[in-house]
Amino acid sequence: MSRIECRLVGVYNANGGLAGELSYVIGKIRGTAHCGLCDISHGKRPMYRKEWKEMVQRLPLPLETVHLNEVDASTSRLLEKARSPFIALIDGENDRVLVSAEELDGCGGDSEALFALLSHRVAE
* Amino acid at site 54: E
pTM for the whole thing? 0.90
Longest dimension (CA), the chain: 47
pLDDT one-digit tens code per residue, 3-25: 558 999 999 999 999 999 899 98
59 near 115, Cβ under 8 Å? yes
The domains located in the chain, with CATH, are 7-123 (3.40.30)
pLDDT one-digit tens code per residue, 100-115: 999 999 999 999 999 9
